[in-house]
Amino acid sequence: MTTIKIKGMTCRHCVMAVTKALNGMDGIRDVQVNLETGEASFTEEKPADRALIRERIAEAGFEVVG
């Protein structure tokens, strides 16, 4: 399980947007987004491109921290 920190999530809609962005990526499954901790966890079926993850999260209106 991979976990990333996400900045800018404030509500359930934010959680749904991040979940949708990550679920739409090839090789990523079992996405779980936690609003309280500001983190998203997921399983990588194959190594996911970190730059692409950042891009997809940015397109959803948020920022990957770290």
Residue whose structure tokens are 């997921």: 42
Domain count, the chain: 1
- pLDDT tens per residue across span 41-65: 999 999 989 999 999 999 999 999 9
Provide the 10 A C-beta neighbour count for residue 21.
23
Closest by Cα among 28, 22, 33, 27 to 59: 22
List the CATH number of the domain containing 37.
3.30.70.100
Percent of the chain with pLDDT over 70: 100
Domain range holding 60?
Answer: 2-65
Percent of the chain with pLDDT over 90: 92
